[in-house]
């Protein structure tokens, strides 16, 4: 299981460069505006996410709990947390016909300001293009499985 999550994370890291060049559906279909969040169309003007991600804002002191609420809400819609890092969660959802959809949720704030509980913080959501399960399978496929050329 750990190896699979590592492979998914590796494949998703590769897809980040593609995603930067590929227009994304700004608001992922299963993401809703939850209580405690306010829509932030410009993503706080941070990280060049405006138009590339769907963002919400809440005070920094509340954004952790809000992120947990989003993960719980997305789990009820079939999304599973499959990896990530300190401020990013990668979610996957199996497709009925096979393969997986992918989405990232990233938490951020303006680090040029003092981190106080009242400081605006943000959660950005963006889809990951393609079939993330196929990308992960390709990333974890051993070299010995590759036919000679």
62-74 confidence digits (pLDDT tens): 999 999 999 999 9
CA distance 136 to 101: 12
CA distance 92 to 78: 8
**83 C-beta neighbours (distance < 10 Å), count:** 21
What are the start-end ranges of the E strands in the chain?
38-39, 54-59, 80-85, 88-94, 100-109, 120-128
Tokens matching residue 103: 């989405």
47-57 confidence digits (pLDDT tens): 999 999 999 99
Which has more pLDDT, 42 or 2?
42
Note the pTM of the prediction, 2 decimals: 0.76
Q: What is the mean pLDDT of residues 119-127?
A: 98
5-30 confidence digits (pLDDT tens): 333 444 444 344 334 444 444 899 99
Q: How confident is the model at residue 32 (pLDDT cuts 50, 70, 90)?
A: very high
Tokens matching residue 50: 């405006």
Q: Which of 26, 132, 43, 117 is nearest to 79 (CA)?
A: 132
């Amino acid at each position: 299981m750990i190896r699979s999550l590592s492979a998914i994370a590796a494949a998703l890291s590769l897809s980040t460069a593609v995603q930067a060049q590929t227009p994304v559906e700004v608001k992922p279909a299963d993401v809703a505006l939850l209580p405690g969040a306010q829509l932030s169309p410009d993503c706080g003007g941070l990280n060049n996410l405006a138009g590339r991600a769907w963002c919400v804002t809440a005070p920094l002191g509340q954004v952790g709990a809000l992120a947990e609420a989003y993960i719980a809400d997305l789990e009820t819609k079939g999304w599973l947390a499959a990896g990530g890092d300190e401020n990013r969660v990668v979610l996957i959802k199996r497709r009925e016909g096979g393969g997986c959809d992918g989405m990232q949720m990233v938490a951020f704030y303006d680090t040029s300001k003092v981190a106080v509980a009242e400081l605006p913080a943000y959660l950005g959501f963006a889809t990951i293009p393609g079939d993330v399960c196929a990308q992960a399978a390709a990333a974890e496929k051993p070299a010995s499985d590759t036919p000679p050329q």
